[in-house]
Chain A
């Protein structure tokens, strides 16, 4: 069961969990996340000791290794402010995966407590802060990829609400939208053939509707689909939800 029950938001200060993928590859997504949150009047704190949510080892089956990282994360994100993360996948790890791997551990309570204050970015803006429309302008046809770890959460609907409200932005639906992009963490390197075939199928569906940009709430899906498309010699433009929201503000001089 998804442990999606949240502590209500009090105050306007959040801790940012930037994710290992932003730390290593997608720095601009983390920058955009800070700018978007600050635009909403939210003070953003970045706990410097943060590393990773622990998901790679959790999904790979090495729960002992994963718990070690999660314990570090719990320590790093001490306090009671909401933790905001620009990834549905890392968010789900915090409020669901960790609960599973700590089921028989004495510190389950602390892990659950962090999960209850962790929010995926779009979910936080729409369902946490109650912001339903986004100002600015972003003139583009957007295909929004609903990432799998947002199933059963408010994230995909929240992203659609925000994107749909941006002036100039048109969302296009594409075939088999509910299907996975094929990334799957360690799956992508242990099952490279199936993983790439799944991605190719998704790219076919996407290209059929000719979007200007593929938007996702998860860097891992962007990395997989973008990397596949580039390797095929037919690159596609990918952007994170936070980047679109930030650029919408920039385009009208609000940033």
Chain B
């Protein structure tokens, strides 16, 4: 391969898809910026505070996790610990089997994408239906989400109408309201048939053991209202110290993710239904999922565990906008994904070691991050790790000869003068990959190596 995989993917991307991704992410970014900075005079200060709180949690998980477990148990929740994706899926399957359940309705949760829960359950004879509209469309299409909060940012309504028709959800109609109504009619019955509702959690308070869910479609409420058993799958990094901290995080998450002051629904769940409550799940499980996070915690990239999955870094990223989420071959795309996805591969890191290269290191991601993750620094660390592990990097010029030259002034100066030869050569034909890659798209300026040094000398003699 001549160039990087993500670059190839971008070059072959359908114009429709690119336009959908570009427009969707650009609009998301612009709305976010306006809302955040119009309302908060010092939004950047808030990002820094939130970052410090989450970093504190990440560095003290050994204290917070037992604390949160005790609170949850006291609230009547059954707590499970899953070291791997497989263990997390098995835990869900075990709970369903113990109840004799066969049908689950699912709200959107990224960690269940990570563990490929829906596929796993289907393989074991269970029905696991996505109820978030975007995730539902992805599921009936056999597709994958391409954005953390907007899973179908890569699709337009014509594609969705076609897939609805194919899946027996009515004759072709690409009116968004009709599409939504049809999905709703289909899903309403499914909630009533299901025994188990699965959600994630955006935050878990260590102080109270409260789970917090933010959604816009109300599907997670239906998942909880209609089923007898609630399972929440939660990454171990989702903890905030106190209920009070939620004020900061909810304000930042809604604004950063979807440019809303507050999401349509914010649910605080403290346990299974109490005797005084007329309905709701009688049984509640929380499965804390590690799946590589402990390794991330032990690495010099642990700051990435602050992430609250808002997707702002995807929206602002010029590379994501050109390449789309699927280019990253991972559940987590964009800048955050370029850090997190290779790390979550653990010993298979080399398979995704190209992701951190897909960035100009422009820094826009850190500038919008609600928890101020130094994403460019982490990308750089992972690039260095890839080099140290000798992972091949197509298109990246080798640096050894350059470093030798650049640490020996005499050789450096000689090459400045010698370089002039490129002004007389057909550079487009030279067998130097980096030069050809440059010249395929851009002209090279005239080589004027050493001219400045010459000017300095002649000038000095004139002055003296």
Contact = CB atoms under 8 A, between A and B. Distances in A.
Interface stretch (B55-63, B72-80, B105-113, B449-457): B449-457
Nearest to B367: A151
Contact of B383 (A34, A46, A61, A68): A61
Contact of A193 (B3, B400, B450): B3
Contact of A61 (B396, B419, B440, B445): B396
Contact of A197 (B10, B400, B406, B444): B10
Contacts of A25: 445-449
A13 interface: no
Interface residues of A, number: 72
A109 interface: no
A14 to B, nearest CB: 15
Query: Taking chain B's interface residues, is the majority helix, strand, or loop, or is none over half, making it mixed?
Result: helix
Nearest to A228: B442
Contacts of B453: 23, 46, 48
Contact of B3 (A185, A192, A226): A192
A34 B457 CA distance: 13
B399 A194 contact: no
Contacts of B400: 62, 65
B462 interface: no
Interface string B335-360: 00000000000000000000001111
A100 interface: yes
Interface in B393-425: 393-400, 402-407, 409, 412, 416, 419
Interface in A20-35: 20, 22-27, 30-31, 34
Interface string B314-338: 0000110011000000000000000
Contacts of A69: 403, 406-407
A24 B380 CA distance: 26
Contact of A56 (B319, B322, B399, B446): B399
A76 B413 CA distance: 14
A60 B399 contact: yes
Contact of A148 (B362, B383, B434, B441): B362
Given A191-B3, A191-B6, A51 B405 contact: yes
Interface residues of B, number: 68
A186 B455 CA distance: 30
Nearest to B455: A31
Given A1-B374, A148-B362, A46 B387 contact: no
Query: Taking chain A's interface residues, is the majority helix, strand, or loop, or is none over half, making it mixed?
Result: helix
B443 interface: yes
Contacts, number: 212
A246 to B, nearest CB: 13
Interface string A62-76: 111110110110001
Contact of B360 (A58, A62, A65, A184): A184
Interface stretch (A115-123, A126-134, A160-168, A174-182): A174-182
B412 A51 contact: yes
Contact of A65 (B319, B380, B403): B403
B178 interface: no
Interface in A195-247: 195-199, 201, 223-224, 226-228, 230-231
A223 B398 CA distance: 21
Given A24-B447, A189-B397, A51 B360 contact: no
Interface of A: 1, 18, 20, 22-27, 30-31, 34, 46, 48-52, 54, 56-66, 68-69, 71-72, 76, 97, 100-101, 148-149, 151-152, 176, 178-180, 182-199, 201, 223-224, 226-228, 230-231
Interface of B: 3-4, 6-8, 10-11, 26, 318-319, 322-323, 357-364, 367, 374, 377, 380-381, 383-387, 393-400, 402-407, 409, 412, 416, 419, 433-434, 437-438, 440-453, 455-456
26 contacts: A24-B416, A27-B451, A27-B455, A48-B453, A56-B399, A58-B380, A60-B397, A61-B380, A61-B396, A62-B399, A65-B399, A76-B409, A179-B318, A182-B318, A186-B395, A186-B396, A189-B437, A190-B357, A190-B393, A190-B437, A192-B7, A192-B437, A194-B7, A197-B10, A198-B318, A228-B441
